[in-house]
Structure 1
Amino acid sequence: MATVSQRPALTPRHLTRAGDRLSFIYLERCTVHRDANAITAEDAEGTTHIPSATIGTLLLGPGTRITHQAMSVLGETGAAVAWVGEQGVRYYAGGRALTRSSALAEAQAVQWANLRSRLSVARAMYRLRFPDEDPAGLTRKGLLGCEGSRVKECYRAEAARTGIRWRGRKYTPGDFAAGDAVNQAITAAAQCMYGVAHAVVASLGCSPALGFVHSGHELSFVLDIADLYKTEIGIPLAFDVAAESEEDVASRTRRALRDRINEVSLLDRCVVDIKHLLLQGDTGVSATTDRDVVTLQSDGGEVVAAGRNYGDADVDTGEDGAMLW
């Protein structure tokens, strides 16, 4: 097997688009190896080969071990890797972006850095979630209040639809079993959606930390994106699973959510929604996101080619010695 240093680096042209990938794969009680550009999951029943370039997020449950070579190919192909608890609780994730361009990351930073545009993006997120309402005049507190009311309304409506007795949203961090079946299903669905959103955010080269609704956490933007589909997909599915049976809620929720995500092509939709929110219709920026090109910043918003020395005699400088391209 070739070492990392002997293999050529993959370019965006070699990688499967985020929208065309599997949403997530959950593994437990196995050892994950590498075989060429695939990963293998080995347990007592045998070995399963999984093409690494088709994975959005790999969820590693209890009893899993993974080799350095397996992690290297997952990083090369831009897959997010999440270590999760048996019941799908807190996870840790990482991965390399599928794009080599910083266009979306820069657009995100520009939108985030200005308080007005940050609020504008938050309103656009609300509009995506609840298209029957116009949040144009809402303040931050107004958005939070309306969002909270709509989510509570969703819980009550889904409880009435499925016939489940709803006692309110209850989740104790670190104690998955403390909630009833429907709360466990909601938690399991939420954690999987966070993994999926993280995979798409990372694959596009965006910052997981620069959120427009959530703030102060390394995954603020991931939480923003996952919440776009909470009342449409996550909560209804959780109630459906809990209504069927209270047995094995977490694993059944994961399987049902995986199927639902594939049915509605959610990964592709996430990509479209993120670009819509960050680029605000700037198709020129969108067209450059697959370029594998490094440039240098210059004055007046201009960029110049990298890979050359600008200390030549024909480069003009200002009075303070600053280079003028």
Structure 2
Amino acid sequence: MEDRISFLYVERAVLNRDGNAVTIQDSRGIAHVPATELAVVLLGPGTKVTYAAMALLGDAGVSAVWVGEKGVRYYAHGRPAAKTSRFAEAHAKIWSNQRSRLRCARRMYAMRFPGEDVSELTMAQLRGREGARMKRIYAAEAQRTGVEWSRRSYDPMDFDAGDPINRALTESSAALYGIAHAVIVGLGFLPSLGIVHTGTDRSFVYDVADLYKAEISIPAAFDAVAAASAGDYFNVRRLVRDKVVTTRLIQKMVRDLQELMDIPTSETYSDAELMLWNELEVIAAGINWADESGVP
């Protein structure tokens, strides 16, 4: 997972297979992409996918995510690369205990506030400090790029209603959510069990993406708007991708997730053995555990 390309967004094209490569065909021709180098394929409007392409993506452990235009809406995803439940069990254990969940939340905020001691802060105090931090970040990015800024304002049901910078921020955040979602399910964590966020099937995705917005998606949005002439299209996703590559975000995200969930970096997610739960232990599956009389 650490060595894979973050994401590939495709729209109005046909995906097929040629050997171990995914082929993407549109009016400009055919491009070949090695499947094992991808973390997630974002399938946008007008995309057609063959059975052969999906079989290859599944075998290579590539997450296939069906999204709306510009990747702003999430609709569905295919089977992830993880084949073990170890990471999901560790995640659920932390989430289900109030003290361990608070401890994990403090770790997340500590990643955003380098050099600050947040070990004794309550969730309300952490939220307040994060809100003030975000205001400072937006103001600093506006001053750096010269982009006019008032406040974060957007309508989830009407993407085009926002001003250019708010549309760019929504689009860059969507790309970052896709990357975070791919890494989370690729390792076997549970997207719905948020530590800070709660209530949706992607609560943990928002948790993880928030760790990197100040470094990745927010600067990319302001840079994109600053570089575009009035009324011109701004390519936010390209700038997000460039920042993901230069910061080695996927590698960092994998390590950060293992640290947050107290999982040794030597742990692997690819090997798995089906077992049976037996109260305080696990026992082998595929065995008839009844005695000769048929009584358990």
TM-score exceeds 0.5: yes
Separation (CA, whole Å) in 1 of partners of 2:105 and 2:255: 16
Separation (CA, whole Å) in 2 of partners of 1:87 and 1:310: 53
Q: Percent identity?
A: 47
TM-score, normalised via structure 2 length: 0.92
Contact 1:32 1:39 in 2 (8 A): yes
Separation (CA, whole Å) in 2 of partners of 1:165 and 1:259: 24
Separation (CA, whole Å) in 2 of partners of 1:204 and 1:29: 30
State the match for 1:303 in structure 2: 282
Contact 1:56 1:199 in 2 (8 A): yes
Contact 1:103 1:288 in 2 (8 A): no
Separation (CA, whole Å) in 1 of partners of 2:278 and 2:268: 19
Number of positions where the alignment pairs a residue of Structure 1 with one of Structure 2: 294
1:191 Cα deviation after fit: 0.3
1:230 Cα deviation after fit: 0.7
Separation (CA, whole Å) in 2 of partners of 1:290 and 1:79: 13
1:74 Cα deviation after fit: 1.8
Contact 2:68 2:75 in 1 (8 A): no
Separation (CA, whole Å) in 2 of partners of 1:114 and 1:36: 47
Separation (CA, whole Å) in 1 of partners of 2:83 and 2:140: 44
State the match for 2:171 in structure 1: 188
TM-score, normalised via structure 1 length: 0.84
State the match for 2:42 in structure 1: 59
SS of the residue 1:150 aligns to: helix
State the match for 1:46 in structure 2: 29
1:123 aligns with 2:106: yes
1:208 counterpart letter in structure 2: P
1:21 Cα deviation after fit: 0.7
* Residues 66 and 149 of structure 1, relative CA distance in 2, 3 Å threshold: same
State the match for 1:178 in structure 2: 161
Q: Which runs of 4+ in 1 moved over 6 A?
A: none
Separation (CA, whole Å) in 2 of partners of 1:88 and 1:245: 20
Contact 1:29 1:43 in 2 (8 A): yes
1:187 Cα deviation after fit: 1.0
Alignment of 1:5-24 (within 5 A): 18-24=1-7
1:172 Cα deviation after fit: 1.1
Separation (CA, whole Å) in 2 of partners of 1:277 and 1:195: 20
2:92 counterpart letter in structure 1: A
Contact 1:80 1:93 in 2 (8 A): no
* Residues 59 and 290 of structure 1, relative CA distance in 2, 3 Å threshold: closer
Consecutive unaligned residues in structure 2, runs of 5 or more: none
Contact 2:41 2:62 in 1 (8 A): yes
1:309 Cα deviation after fit: 2.4
Deviates most, 255-264 or 135-144: 135-144
1:286 Cα deviation after fit: 4.9
Separation (CA, whole Å) in 2 of partners of 1:104 and 1:60: 27
1:291 Cα deviation after fit: 2.3
Separation (CA, whole Å) in 2 of partners of 1:93 and 1:208: 13
Separation (CA, whole Å) in 1 of partners of 2:52 and 2:259: 36
Deviates most, 190-199 or 132-141: 132-141
1:238 aligns with 2:221: yes
State the match for 2:273 in structure 1: 293
Separation (CA, whole Å) in 2 of partners of 1:93 and 1:265: 26
Separation (CA, whole Å) in 2 of partners of 1:172 and 1:19: 34
